[in-house]
Amino acid sequence: MNQPSSSLSRRDFLSKTTAGVGAGLVLGAPTILRAAEAGSSDKIHVALCGMGKQGRVLFEAMSNIPGLHFQAVCDIWEYNRQSGVAKVNALQGHKPTAYSDIDEMLATEKGLDAVVVATPDFWHSPHTVKCLEAGLNVYCEKMMSNTIDGARAMVKAMEKSGKLCQIGHQRRSNPRYRFVLDQLINGNKICGQIVNINAQWNRAVNSSRDIAFSPKLIIKQDILEKYGFKNMSQFMNWRTYRDLSGGPISDLGAHQIDIFNWFLGATPKSVFASGGRDFFKEREHFDNVMAIFDYDTPQGGVRAFYQVLTTTSAGGGYWESFMGTEGNIKMSEQTAYTTLFREDSAPSWDPLVERGYLKKKAALPKPAANSGAIASYESKPPEGFELPGDLPMVKTASGNSPKPPHQPHLENFFAAVASKGAVKLNCDARHAFLSEAPIYYVNPSALSHQPIQFTPEHLSV
């Protein structure tokens, strides 16, 4: 059973996260789950709460995991509900019970082991707390909540119930991220001293527009209001409303800012942010946000710059770049965006290539010899490398493809459930809170045009 220490300090949460879990458990998870597949009584009985876009992404990832039985589906929108029922039926050969209300589901369904919560952010905390109090283990999508108090309530509910609560920061279970942190940054210290972090998620306007809906599929007004939505448009586009979500910085940024804190083993001491409604002028949330976090780490000070732009894809997608005195690791869930560079003055990485820890990339083109006086101020071009592997392949309807990025994190959760906590969660609610807490202050900093210096009260449960 997962019972994280409530006295966990902000500084050492990384080390406990990494060392406590152990890389081998990532590999061990499918083995434990295959054991659960043996008989239906051994299966993990799962309810799916929220079958919108993200709920379907999670379901697709779970459909590759052995030993799961999807017992119930819950969504207030009939369209999502029926779609979820059909998908589950197609996977396991019989329909799950469908519910429009989570209270009814929790009161009716017997024998559930776990609930996967993928509802809008402002429902994460109430739904997760309800499920934990009902004695169920919970996998909840990030951001934990639209408010820091909602997130605090989740941590308290997890610790009071003694149940497992994994937050969907899926990179924490990604073999590539775990390998980079354990072996390259901490083990072989290829970055030297990390002095800066730069990360972004830049998304084109067309991918950020409001989601349209068919008038035939509108939810009745009284149902919408019962669940906190003013109308169908707000239901479809809840991510753009202040009372319902944290906006792009939490929607997209939380994944990556979590990696800052995880990799540095620290939480920031301050944040200074700027944001604006530059294109989507009618929206409540900023469409473009930039934030600078200041860290004190055992190695020294680090500044981390993050930008989320929902108005342009210029700049090459989404990635996190860890810049050190000896090397730079540019990470992304997308293999294509991942590159490592060795500074010319750093010790050779060839031994790591020989040991299988890195692969060398083709040499970068050299600048022209006579590029003028400015060249004398430039550094030599760094040597390029790439990671030696990717997520393993899984069989899908369209052939073999890399394991979906959420699958390892879900495997870790269900392995923890199957082992009754012997397998530790890679991102339980307390660790997720420590990582997410600074993000709740980005929008306030941008709104007030003032930096915010964090105190223990800001970042503690």
Partner 1 sequence: MSTETEPCCQTPKLGLTYGALLLRLWLAVRAIQTGIEKYAGTSVSDQPVKMDGAANSYGLSAASSVKEYAMSHYHGVPAGLMDKFKAEPLMRSYSLGSFTLDPLKIYDVVLGPTLLVLGVMLLLGIATRTSLFLQGLLYISLTWGLILIKQDDGVSWLGVHLVLIVMALALADHNRFAILKKW
Helix (H) or strand (E) holding 459: helix 456-459
Pick 23 or 91: Cβ nearer partner 1 = 23
The CB-of-369 to partner 1 minimum distance in angstroms stands at 38
Give the span between the Cα atoms of 304 and 48, in whole angstroms: 36
Q: Which phi and psi (to 5°) does residue 459 adopt?
A: -115, 10
The CB-of-69 to partner 1 minimum distance in angstroms stands at 25
Pick 393 or 422: Cβ nearer partner 1 = 393
Q: Which phi and psi (to 5°) does residue 297 adopt?
A: -120, 165
Q: Which of 355, 361, 420, 449 binds partner 1 (CB under 8 A)?
A: 355
Site string (92-111) toward partner 1, x via CB under 8 A: --------------------
Helix (H) or strand (E) holding 72: strand 68-74
Pick 182 or 294: Cβ nearer partner 1 = 182
Site string (44-73) toward partner 1, x via CB under 8 A: ------------------------------
Which has the closest alpha carbon to 331: 207, 171, 204? Answer: 171
Provide Rg for the chain, Cα atoms: 23
Pick 277 or 330: Cβ nearer partner 1 = 330
Contact between 400 and partner 1 (CB under 8 A)?
yes
Tell me if residue 218 falls in helix, strand or coil: coil
The CB-of-330 to partner 1 minimum distance in angstroms stands at 18
Q: CB atoms < 10 A from the CB of 425, how many?
A: 31
Q: What is the Cα 243 distance to its own chain's centre? A: 21
Contact between 226 and partner 1 (CB under 8 A)?
no
Pick 298 or 399: Cβ nearer partner 1 = 399
Which has the closest alpha carbon to 252: 201, 301, 203? Answer: 201
Q: Which stretch binds partner 1 (CB under 8 A): 118-126, 368-376, 397-405, 415-423?
A: 397-405
Pick 332 or 445: Cβ nearer partner 1 = 332
The CB-of-25 to partner 1 minimum distance in angstroms stands at 10
Q: Distance between the two ends of the chain, CA-based, in angstroms? A: 21
Alpha helices in 93-217 (DSSP H): 102-108, 121-133, 148-161, 175-179
Amino acid at 402: P
Core vs surface per residue 300-327: b (16+ CB within 10 A) or e: eebebebbbbbbebeeeebbbbbbbebb
The CB-of-32 to partner 1 minimum distance in angstroms stands at 14
Contact between 408 and partner 1 (CB under 8 A)?
yes
Site string (365-394) toward partner 1, x via CB under 8 A: ----------------------xxxxxxx-
The CB-of-18 to partner 1 minimum distance in angstroms stands at 12
The CB-of-400 to partner 1 minimum distance in angstroms stands at 5
Which has the closest alpha carbon to 43: 422, 417, 425, 428? Answer: 417
Site string (2-31) toward partner 1, x via CB under 8 A: ---------------------xx-xx----
Residue 434's alpha-carbon distances to 43, 52, 111, 238, in angstroms, are: 32, 27, 32, 25
Q: Which of 99, 123, 179, 433 binds partner 1 (CB under 8 A)?
A: 179
The count of residues interacting with partner 1 (CB under 8 A) is: 24
The CB-of-179 to partner 1 minimum distance in angstroms stands at 4
Contacting positions for partner 1 (CB under 8 A): 23-24, 26-27, 175-176, 178-179, 182-183, 355-357, 387-393, 399-400, 402, 408
